[in-house]
Amino acid sequence: MVQKTDRRKPGRIVFASAALLVAVAFCAWYLRDDSAVRQPMGTTTADGGAARGPSRDSAVHGRGAARMTPTAASRAADSASLPPPGTSLAKIYDDLKARADGGDKEAASRLFTEAQHCFSARQEVRMLPRSANFFLEEDTSKLSAEELSQREKHLANLEQRLAKVRAESALCEGLSDEQLQLAPIALQAAQLGDAAASDCYVSGILLYSGGLLDHPEWLAQYKSNAMTIAQAALERGDWRMVAALRNAYGETLSVVPLGQLTGGDAVQYYRYLKLQQLGATDKNAAAIGRELADAAQSLTAADQNAGDAWAQEMYSRFFGGTPDPVDQNNQMSACYL
Amino acid sequence: MNPHNRNRLLALGIVLIAAAATATWLYLGASPATPVARSADAGSTDTGMATTPQRTATAPAAKVTKKRAGPIHTASAGPALPPPDAPLAQVYADLKTRADAGDAQAASRLYRDVGRCLHTRDVLANQSRAASWMLEDDTSGLDADQLARRERRLGTIEDELAKARANSGLCEGATPAELQLAPVALRAAQLGDVQAADCYVSAGLTAGGGLLDHPEWLQDYKANALSLANSAVEQGDWTMVNQLQRAYAQSSGAGLLAQVTGGDPSQAYAYLKLRSLGAVTPQGNSFLSRQLADAAQNLPADAVTQGDTWAQNAYQQYFGANPQINTPRGFNPCQNIGAD
């Protein structure tokens, strides 16, 4: 070995040293930006310790292979001003899309928010008149005074909503059905770090909102990206994502793609439930405690201890040790359709 | 006319009627009825369209069994089915083999057993949690009526949980692949099970899991859903009339069927008209009449006429034994399968 080292040329040693420095720098960058990806999540390990996270490969699969952390180029692009609020989406769609494709997080978020809003408004414009008509045709002869009053309030509310939606949907005119296919738009915004898009995309409900029959590749993209996006959201302290994963591992939302992706897992279910308990408000604490006790019955003591330690670590590290300020069981509220 | 000629004419008439009946049966069998041509043709002066069903979808992968108006359980003869309390894991392979070979009873039984196990799993996962949260609710501000409703709800949950626990033994050992609803619903629907068709067309791909690993199901759906839907309408299925109307209208929550049909106001009007003919209550009739008037405002007069004619014909032809809408409001065809 010594002889071999002695025979090396000085240039090769310099080269090796430079390579080592690059590797160290890469590791430092990697640990700073992507430590999240290796945090406990996903399949339960046999050692009772923290579960492994999704592989690094999953972070770069799928359309655009966007990184979870904005690049320097995207940060520069972010600085370009967005179109003023109240601009017709049809007029700015292509520009926002091009900027999002270039890594502009603000443009991607704006595109997702407005496309989701327009999708929802289009649905409501179709639905609300039917609801109002149904009430208007209802036989009211046997209603009490209080019921009549409630009915009038409900009708007034419907009328207000319809007027509001019609006014808002004026900004959504001229958009094709393809432009309002939300799954790819949400994926892009989520990959660039948008919290609402992440919650919505990871639930998988957007896959069903239009276009899937002509885009079966969305299923593979979802499988490749959802857990990576979920992990990043957890590391931003996203309580909605905690609830979503708890529901998925607990098989309480088996219809939703996230539940199909994770499958049922009693150990993971316990961990996310424990994390929820740590962040529970007074209102929720008792019910979560009851569920946690039920969940613990099917686990070994080692699994419970490891789950408790994992949850405490997550709570301290990513959630600031502070309770969830809102109803953490309402994960789907980020994904109105 | 002498007796010999009269007899020849009579025989010829019988042959012609039989030929016409056979041709009609074959034609309808190969091409499920749809109300009118696509919107692009709505302005056509061919008013015969309403009585001449046209194809609007690709052919189904397997031919839909025709005219099975009665319950599926009395359909094809075959070996006896396993006893009702046989665990799914024990009978799945046999039922699947028989269903693949065209045994309609086995296909329907498999669909219902899988659906029952999915429902059992969902109840056990969700209802105990719902009860847990309800029990923690603050009830101090509730009045007597609200308390009574809460008690009834808790009682219902307890009943559902007891039933699910009783059924859970029938589902033990079933693998995730055996709990995938889409393929068994499709097969049962193809063999004439209208309830399976209702579920498959509405949410069959998503209700039971597996879609993420089976993107080819999307192609199956595109190839089969509309034909199955049309066939179900021909068997007097109001649930499917509602689904098709919502799909053509691109209504909120119309699901994957709306992606197959695309939006078509003429078709939506025709199915809405059919629904109005089956309205049960004066209020329902009045509501649908108003909807029809709104829909008609945006259509050419020809399309309205064609839609009215088709609906009237379809109502008489397919809904004679089932003249009133019998689908509960908000009915989910994929929920509580196998409970009946």
Q: How many CA atoms lie within 13 A of B283 on its CB side?
A: 9
Contact flag B283-A126 (C-beta cutoff 8 Å): no
Of A189-203, A221-235, B60-74, B294-308, the poorest mean pLDDT is in B60-74
Judged by a CB distance cut-off of 8 A, whether residue B221 touches chain A is yes
Q: How much is the pLDDT for A45?
A: 38
Measure the CA–CA gap between A6 and A237, rounded to whole angstroms.
Answer: 53
- Reading the block at residue A297, the tokens are 């019955």
pLDDT at B58: 32
Across the interface, whether the CB atoms of B212 and A261 are under 8 A apart is answered yes
Chain-chain contact of B259 with A287 (C-beta, under 8 angstroms): no
Query: What is the rounded CA–CA span in Å between residue B338 and residue B336?
Result: 6
Q: Which residue of B has its CA nearest to A219?
A: B212
Contact A137 B287 (CB under 8 A): yes
Which member of B133, B255, B283 has the closest CB to residue A139?
A: B283
Compute the average pLDDT of residues A121-150: 78
Cβ A169 vs Cβ A122: under 8 Å = yes
Residue A269: what are its φ and ψ, rounded to 5°? -55, -45
Higher pLDDT, A3 or B37: B37
Q: Which residue of B has its CA nearest to A178?
A: B259
Across the interface, whether the CB atoms of B286 and A137 are under 8 A apart is answered yes
Cβ-defined contacts of A167-172 (< 8 Å, 24+)? A168/A117, A168/A121, A169/A118, A169/A121, A169/A122, A169/A125, A171/A86, A171/A87, A171/A88, A171/A89, A171/A114, A171/A118, A172/A88, A172/A89, A172/A90, A172/A117, A172/A118, A172/A121, A172/A122
Element (DSSP H or E) covering residue A164: helix A145-169
B206:A208 CB<8 A: yes
Q: What is the structure's pLDDT at B131?
A: 80
CB B264 within 8 Å of CB B244: no
> Which amino acid, one-letter code, is at B171?
C
The pLDDT value given to residue A305: 97
B294 touching chain A per CB within 8 A: yes
pLDDT at A207: 93
For residue A8, what pLDDT is reported?
Answer: 38
Residue A274 makes CB contacts below 8 A (sequence gap 6+) with A292, A307, A308, A310, A311
- At residue B22, the pLDDT reads 37
CB contact under 8 A, A257 and B212: yes
Of A22-31, A53-62, B280-289, least confident by mean pLDDT is A53-62
By mean pLDDT, which of A220-224, A279-283, B1-5 is the weakest? Answer: B1-5
Report d(CA A100, CA A80) in Å as an integer: 12
Domain spans in chain A, listed from the N-terminal domain onward: 61-74+87-236, 237-337
What angle in degrees, to the nearest 10, is found between the helix axes of A105-136 and A145-169? 140
Of A42-46, A50-54, A248-252, A273-277, which gets the smallest average pLDDT? A50-54
> pLDDT tier at A11 (50, 70, 90 boundaries)?
very low
Q: Are B255 and A213 a contacting pair at CB < 8 A? A: no
Nearest Cα to A207, choosing from A193, A195, A194, A217? A217
Distance CA A200, CA A190 (A): 9
CA distance, residue A226 to nearest chain B CA (Å): 12
Mean of the pLDDT values across residues A227-235? 96
B210 touches chain A (CB under 8 A): yes
Q: Enter the pTM of the model.
A: 0.73
Q: Which chain A residues have a beta carbon less than 8 Å from that of B129?
A: 250, 252, 291
Give A151 or B19, the one with higher predicted confidence: A151
Which pLDDT value is given to residue B24? 34
Q: How many Å apart are CA B301 and CA A157, to the nearest integer?
A: 35
Q: Best mutation site among B146, B221, B287 for testing chain A: the one with the most A CBs within 10 Å?
A: B287
Higher per-residue pLDDT: B4 or A293: A293
Nearest residue on chain A to B218, judged by CA atoms? Answer: A213
Instruction: Calculate the CA dihedral of residues A325, A253, A261, A65 and round it to 10 degrees.
Output: -50
In this complex, how many residue pairs, one in chain A and one in chain B, have their CB atoms less than 8 Å apart?
A: 84
A53-62, A75-84, A163-172 — which is least confidently predicted? A53-62
Handedness of CA A67, A30, A195, A272 (dihedral sign): positive
Q: How far is Cα B299 from Cα B43, in angstroms, rounded to an integer?
A: 9
How many CA within 13 A on the CB side of residue B330? 1
| Nearest C-alpha neighbor of A51 from the set A271, A250, A209 | A271
Res. A29: pLDDT tops 60: no
Q: Furthest-apart CA pair in chain A: how many Å?
A: 105
Question: Is it the case that residue A62 has pLDDT exceeding 60?
Answer: no
Of A272 and B327, more confident: A272
Q: Identify the residue with better confidence: A163 or A274.
A: A274
Residue A182 pLDDT > 90, yes or no? Answer: yes
Q: What angle do CA B67, B68, B74 make, to 5 degrees?
A: 160
A30, pLDDT greater than 50 = no
- Both structure tokens of A70: 């904005």
The pLDDT value given to residue A281: 82
CB contact (8 A) between residue B209 and residue A254 = yes
To which residue do tokens 């909102």 refer? A209
Contact B171, B182 (CB under 8 A): no
- Quote ipTM for the complex: 0.71
* Residues 6+ positions from A200 with CB-CB distance below 8 Å: A116, A182, A186, A190, A206, A334, A335
Q: Does B248 touch chain A (CB under 8 A)?
A: no
Concatenate the DSSP letters of all residues of B182-237 into one string: HHHHHHHHHTT-HHHHHHHHHHHHHHSS-GGG-THHHHHHHHHHHHHHHHHHHTT-
Select from B89, B91, B87 the least CA-distant residue to B106. B91
Please report, for residues A320, B248, B274, the alpha-carbon distance to residue B241 in angstroms, rounded to integers and kept in the order given.
Answer: 54, 11, 8
Any B CB within 8 A of A277 CB: no
Cβ B256–A212 below 8 Å, yes or no?
yes
A162-176, A294-308, B281-295: segment of lowest average pLDDT? B281-295
Per-residue pLDDT of chain B (340 residues; tens, 9 = 90+): 444 444 443 443 443 344 443 333 333 333 335 665 444 333 333 333 333 233 333 333 333 333 333 333 444 556 899 998 899 999 999 999 999 999 999 999 999 999 999 989 888 878 877 787 787 777 888 888 888 888 998 898 888 898 888 888 899 999 989 999 999 999 999 999 999 999 999 988 888 889 999 999 999 999 999 999 999 999 999 999 999 999 999 887 778 999 999 999 999 999 999 999 998 877 777 778 888 988 899 899 999 999 999 999 999 999 999 898 888 777 888 887 876 5
Taking the C-alpha atoms of residue A186 and residue A211, their distance in angstroms, rounded to an integer, is: 14
Which residues neighbour A172 within 8 Å (Cβ) at sequence distance 6 or greater?
Answer: A88, A89, A90, A117, A118, A121, A122
